[in-house]
Amino acid sequence: MHVPEQPPAPGVELAVSGAVALPGEGDTAQRLALGFLLSHHGNTRAAYTRDLAAYGVWCAGVGLDVLAARRVHVDAYVEHLVREGAAASTVVRRLSAVSGFYAYAVDEGALDRNPAARVRRPKVGENVQSTGLSKDEAGRLLAAAEEHSPRAAVVANLLLFCGLRVSELCNAQVTDLGWERGHRVLTVTRKGGKRQRMVVPPRAGELIDAYLADRTDGPLVATATGRPLDRQAVWRLLRSLATTAVPHLAATLHPHDLRHACATLALDAGASLRDVQDLLGHADSRTTRRYDRARHNLDRSPTYALAGLID
């Protein structure tokens, strides 16, 4: 199908940062990728940029023109991801980016059909396998964070008590802090660009004030040079804290585990499922219910009853 060459809309290259190399004749694939990414925002755009870049690397490796791909090629890409050990959720997300790109190409008249439209998505388990941290583990981690540094204390408290995604923490600004009806609040940018006010518990607020001192602008959590702390730095910090606080989790602790703990411990404390859903910013209550089911999985194990019977 012939696609007339047209220059990209003014400002597109400036609006979308990060190059995506998609193999093919001319620059049609690149222009389509820019347009597709421009239709998304924030974290979704960043994730889709990485996912399309990964797809482009695979296509180049097998000598495939992206706009000549058929369903069998996308099926082969999924098989490649599975063989490489990608989690089902990762495969689903990458396939969503690829399918979205091709759907955009169809809308723009560059393709007759979307080769990824009917590719089977792997099933992502309904149950959350990890409940994050127990009450005692969470307490030890918070204590270790306060002993480590003021910045570590802020990171651990906001991830645990506000259930923030690591990207929400890293993108937060000092000016996002405020007060509302006597509550200390932090306004964060959630998925899809939605802004949400989060209540900051008193102790966490004290730690934030001590950390910021007189600083009134810039990233809420910053490096020594004043740049925003990135997700890799948060990951390393938590692993470091885990070596003393929860050594059995030192090799596996992930920032999202604190978000899981926020949900499960809040439910244990008597919070309603709907309030926890609002706290975490879940659009679908079924996502929150996964945490609710997961927190009881181990407690209800028949292994305990069997061991008690034999003992």
Closest to 200 measured CA to CA, from 156, 161, 145, 159: 161
Q: Of the residues 31, 55, 291, 295, which is catalytic? A: 291
Q: Of the residues 191, 239, 254, 290, which is catalytic? A: 191
To the nearest 10°, report the CA torsion of 60, 65, 68, 74.
10
Residue with tokens 């703990």: 261
Q: Of the residues 93, 94, 260, 282, which is catalytic? A: 282
Is 191 among the residues known to form the active site?
Answer: yes
Distance CA 302, CA 293 (A): 16
Give exposure, 26-53, as e/b (b: 16+ Cβ within 10 Å).
eebbbbbbbbbbbebeebbbebbbebbb
Is 135 among the residues known to form the active site?
Answer: no
Q: Of the residues 121, 239, 254, 256, which is catalytic? A: 256
Is 227 among the residues known to form the active site?
Answer: no
Q: Of the residues 151, 165, 184, 190, which is catalytic? A: 165
Is 73 among the residues known to form the active site?
Answer: no
Residues annotated catalytic, as ranges: 165, 191, 256, 259, 282, 291
